[in-house]
Structure 1
Amino acid sequence: MSNTDVIKRMYAAKGDIKVLRDVISPDAEWDITVGFPHGGVYNGLDTIISDFFSFFGDFDEFWAEGDEFWEVDDHVIALGRYQGKAKATGERFTSRFVHIYTLRENKITRLQQTNDTVQISRALGKS
């Protein structure tokens, strides 16, 4: 399995915790844009799942779709978009992202994310 395949598997899982545990390293770091729901830096798989991915509770639907991928050595860069529907407002949104991943032995060890957070904030009724 290529590193890009690992990232595509995570996106296809749409938040399935079992898959997340399969593809994310126990010592991973998640660096999420401030302004994104639960934005900040998270260290360790359990913290990423419990503290970051809990943002899924704000949405009836939420998923990431990769549109373009570049793999160089142990890094994958993904351009794509988040899509979803906010629970509080019922509003749908599409928001572009860039994800830069580092992988080791088919496990994600780091994510650096940047995102146009405006569309998500609007859907959540925060702007």
Structure 2
Amino acid sequence: MRTAIEVVRSFYAAAQAADGVAIMALLHPDLQVHTAPGMPCGAGGAFHGPQDALTRVWGAVFADFDTAPYAESWHETTDGTIVVTGHYRGSARATGRPYEAEFVHLWRVTGDRISWLHQYTDTARWHQALTPAAG
């Protein structure tokens, strides 16, 4: 069985490859996802289940952004929560404007699947990328 950190690392690799099938294979049936309330694309809030998260969070974001999360630091707490800091990097598809937004992800893994994610990010950076440049 893979360690929790290995499972989470697999998620980042799948997200960077925009591989929805690989992402789904990593998700626990009772997945709970909590994303920053100010996320664009309707992707902020609480979501339950792999299909809900894939459609309403990652699918919605990937429809409007060419983006991926890039992890920079990894920590495991005594209760098994994985804490990852890093940056989302990419660009908005409609405007072509690049962006970089810092994140903190808190993960829990049950067995060898992701069962819980809480995301914190600088949502203002996401919205700036969606705004056409003043010209």
Segments of 5+ residues of structure 2 without an aligned counterpart are none
Identical-pair percentage: 27
Pick the structure with more strand per residue: 1
Give the Cα separation in 1 of the matches to 2:127 and 2:56.
19
Q: Which residue of 2 aligns with 1:29?
A: 32
Q: Which residue of 2 aligns with 1:96?
A: 102
TM-score (norm 2): 0.87
Q: Does 1:11 align with 2:12?
A: yes
- The number of equivalent residue pairs is 125
Question: Which structure 1 residue ranges, 4+ long, deviate > 3 Å from structure 2?
Answer: none
TM-score (norm 1): 0.92
RMSD, matched Cα: 1.3
Mapping of 1:15-94 within 5 angstroms? 15-37=18-40, 38-55=43-60, 56-59=62-65, 61-72=66-77, 73-94=79-100
Segments of 5+ residues of structure 1 without an aligned counterpart are none
1:39-68 CA-partner distances (Å, limit 9, x unpaired):
010001111112222221002x21001100
| Distance apart, 1:74 and its partner CA | 2.7
Q: Which residue of 1 aligns with 2:113?
A: 107
Give the Cα separation in 2 of the matches to 1:89 and 1:51.
21
- Residues 3 and 71 of structure 1 are in contact (CA less than 8 Å); yes or no, is this contact kept in structure 2? no
